[in-house]
A and B are shown apart, each in its own frame.
Chain A
Amino acid sequence: MNKTWNNKAWFMVLPVLFLVAISAIIPLMTVVNYSVQDTFGNNEFFWAGAEWFEEMLTSDRFWAAMGRNLLFSGIVLLIEIPLGILIALNMPKSGWGVPVCLVLMALPLLIPWNVVGTIWQVFGRVDIGLLGYALREVGVDYNYVSDPFDAWVTVIVMDVWHWTSLVVLLCYAGLVSIPDAYYQAAKIDGASRWAVFRYIQLPKMNRVLLIAVLLRFMDSFMIYTEPFVVTGGGPGNSTTFLSIDLVKMAVGQFDIGPAAAMSIIYFLIILLLSWVFYTVMTNYDAASDGERRDG
């Protein structure tokens, strides 16, 4: 769409700017201030310089949490994106099945995150949970409380349970926007199922898939509540992700300086990734707009 140049539009953005600035900029400035100082409470601060940053960047604890978080995000994306596409491709496109599927699939997204944690905490328990009980019955030695591998499996299955629907709904939105003519043409050309997917459905889903990857990566990179409720970051530190470690440090140990330094490093990484995704997305849009104009 051709937009007119009009700087008065700023006035329409002002309320948003004001609101978000209060809740984003002031806290962010505060975090920066904390990150270069040391405190023992009572609002007394002592200059510490870049000490906390240096400590963070050379601490094994931070890099371990970062590694676990990246591994978690990677696994979750590898499962949820293909699974989401597969389910979306097989969703009914019309009839009574559509609203039923949509409502049931969206349900996990609307459950408070700690309740998601509680559901899986209960579900996985060997004594009172269906999953733990069933696994025990078929002879799998499963206990997410004491075994790190089982804890990881539980947290990942929980995330798949919680968020795959988002990918499904996004892909589905992309799929229903494909005009029937494309499918008819493919049928006439004798295109294989794979060709239909590769040359019709996938290009149409590109955009929404990008959004899906962006949202899923970011949300899994800052996951806190669900694994915290299920495992509390344990056994040991095996499921302590960045956010969990951060809250532990800031609230549990009241190490505000290191926690603030970690927040800033964390935030910078998020900022970089957001920028990469956003640039890819807008340039992709510009390119496809160009195609549409040419065609």
Chain B
Amino acid sequence: MADLTARDSFAGTAAASSASDDATMRRMRRRGGASRLGWLIPTLYILFLMLPIYWLVNMSFKTNAEILGPITFLPAEPTLRNYAVIFTDPSWYKGYINSIIYVVMNTVISVAVALPAAYAFSRYRFLGDKHLFFWLLTNRMAPPAVFALPFFQLYSAFGLIDTHIAVALAHCLFNVPLAVWILEGFMSGVPKEIDETAYIDGYSFPRFFVKIFMPLIASGIGVAAFFCFMFSWVELLIARTLTTTDAKPIAAIMTRTVSASGLDWGVLAAAGVLTIIPGALVIWFVRNYIAKGFALGRV
């Protein structure tokens, strides 16, 4: 309550004297009112984020002899051997293809089933809706370790072990609730009058949904797809449990090779770098919506 009155008094005085020092204001807005050295904090933070990644990239261009020798900050004899190993050996590059196949499948399934559900949650009240929504959320919070063993049994019973669809479906456990949550947030931002006008104009529900509603929440769909991609791409425990060879994700192949081939650090680093690239590309496409997306469409 105190916050509110303070806010109101601020807003009130602003309206009274709107013509004030523009330059100061712009500076304040830019920095959120921070001190002149404010830029230093994000810069240092980004530096901290980049250091381990720099080291990984650095290593991926070195020979194993150089990696194990004295520390060098740039590769003394840059080599592409590590990348060549990955791109010429099917057991390596197939891992990437497998990962991408099940991630894309999962993203498509999750968003497709979440769209109507999110619409229902954002527009209607129905029997048990709040409990249903909460139950969905608990699945996002459930530890994958709890589900790993029964998942293996379940998908064995259906003969789906080591297929892409098995991993895609298993990842729906946490991605569908997340997609519903995000999309519901974005959809609630669209005024209900738009639906009603469309129905009066004689649009059927499916036609309205595809032609009018989906373009309106296009950014929300993009963000939901981004998050499904992200969580399916980074998850390993379930993906590894459900696959043996044909659908094994790259992340699992990495761990196996580390223990088997006597630690080929260069190849390991190169494989790691290659797993970062798809993520970086995807972020670039959604960069303008990413902040709102992380707030699950609710700011």
User: A78 contacts the other chain (Cβ, under 8 Å)?
Assistant: no
Nearest CB of B to A255, in Å? 11
Known A107-B279, A187-B25; judge A118-B272 contact (CB<8 A): yes
Interface centre among A8, A92, A107, A114 (most CB of B within 10 A): A114
Known A99-B288, A104-B49; judge A173-B295 contact (CB<8 A): yes
The answer to whether A270 touches B141, judged by C-beta atoms less than 8 angstroms apart, is yes
The answer to whether A112 touches B143, judged by C-beta atoms less than 8 angstroms apart, is no
- The stretch of A12-20, A46-54, A56-64, A139-147 that contacts the partner chain: A12-20
The answer to whether A115 touches B291, judged by C-beta atoms less than 8 angstroms apart, is no
The answer to whether B10 touches A189, judged by C-beta atoms less than 8 angstroms apart, is yes
The answer to whether A184 touches B18, judged by C-beta atoms less than 8 angstroms apart, is yes
Nearest CB of A to B252, in Å? 8
Look across to chain A and name the residue whose beta carbon is closest to the beta carbon of B151: A27
The answer to whether B14 touches A246, judged by C-beta atoms less than 8 angstroms apart, is no
User: B217 contacts the other chain (Cβ, under 8 Å)?
Assistant: no
A89 to B41, CA, bound (A): 10
The answer to whether B46 touches A105, judged by C-beta atoms less than 8 angstroms apart, is yes
The answer to whether B254 touches A3, judged by C-beta atoms less than 8 angstroms apart, is no
The answer to whether B10 touches A122, judged by C-beta atoms less than 8 angstroms apart, is no
User: B251 contacts the other chain (Cβ, under 8 Å)?
Assistant: yes
A270 to B146, CA, bound (A): 11
The answer to whether B52 touches A181, judged by C-beta atoms less than 8 angstroms apart, is no
> A15's contact among B15, B116, B192, B276, by CB below 8 Å, is which?
B116
Question: How many B residues have CB within 8 A of the partner chain?
Answer: 125
A200 to B4, CA, bound (A): 9
Which residues from chain A contact B101 at a C-beta distance below 8 Å? none
From 1 to 25 in chain B, residues with beta carbon under 8 angstroms from any chain A beta carbon are 2-4, 6-15, 17-18, 20-21, 24-25
From 145 to 194 in chain B, residues with beta carbon under 8 angstroms from any chain A beta carbon are 145-151, 153-154, 169-170, 172-173, 176-177, 180, 188, 192
Q: What sequence of 0s and 1s flags, for each residue 252-271 of chain B, a beta carbon within 8 Å of any chain A beta carbon?
A: 10110010000001001100
The answer to whether A106 touches B290, judged by C-beta atoms less than 8 angstroms apart, is yes
Look across to chain B and name the residue whose beta carbon is closest to the beta carbon of A214: B141
The answer to whether A115 touches B272, judged by C-beta atoms less than 8 angstroms apart, is yes
The answer to whether A182 touches B291, judged by C-beta atoms less than 8 angstroms apart, is no
Which residues from chain B contact A168 at a C-beta distance below 8 Å? 45
User: A133 contacts the other chain (Cβ, under 8 Å)?
Assistant: yes
Nearest CB of A to B161, in Å? 15
From 89 to 109 in chain A, residues with beta carbon under 8 angstroms from any chain B beta carbon are 89-95, 97, 99, 101-109
User: B280 contacts the other chain (Cβ, under 8 Å)?
Assistant: yes
The answer to whether A110 touches B230, judged by C-beta atoms less than 8 angstroms apart, is yes
Interface of chain A, helix or strand or loop or mixed?
helix
A267 to B144, CA, bound (A): 10
A177 to B151, CA, bound (A): 42
User: A295 contacts the other chain (Cβ, under 8 Å)?
Assistant: yes
The answer to whether A267 touches B176, judged by C-beta atoms less than 8 angstroms apart, is no
Look across to chain A and name the residue whose beta carbon is closest to the beta carbon of B158: A22
Q: What sequence of 0s and 1s flags, for each residue 66-90 of chain A, a beta carbon within 8 Å of any chain B beta carbon?
A: 0000000000000000000011011
Beyond known contacts A94-B30, A260-B149: 12 more, CB 8 A cutoff: A6-B125, A20-B139, A90-B34, A110-B279, A122-B56, A169-B295, A180-B29, A185-B12, A187-B28, A203-B7, A218-B141, A263-B145
Q: List, sorted by A's number, 26 A–B pairs whose CB atoms are closer than 8 Å.
A: A1-B122, A4-B125, A13-B117, A19-B113, A24-B173, A31-B149, A34-B150, A91-B32, A93-B31, A97-B39, A106-B290, A107-B53, A108-B49, A109-B230, A112-B235, A113-B235, A118-B272, A119-B53, A170-B295, A173-B294, A187-B25, A188-B13, A199-B7, A207-B298, A243-B145, A247-B145
Q: Which residues of B contact A (CB under 8 A)?
A: 2-4, 6-15, 17-18, 20-21, 24-25, 28-35, 38-42, 45-46, 48-53, 55-56, 59, 67-68, 71, 109, 113-114, 116-117, 119-127, 129-130, 132, 134, 136-151, 153-154, 169-170, 172-173, 176-177, 180, 188, 192, 230, 233-237, 250-252, 254-255, 258, 265, 268-269, 272, 275-276, 278-280, 282-284, 287-288, 290-292, 294-296, 298-299
Which 8 A-B pairs rank lowest in CB-CB distance, beginning with the nearest? A110-B279, A185-B10, A185-B14, A222-B143, A27-B150, A173-B295, A12-B116, A9-B120
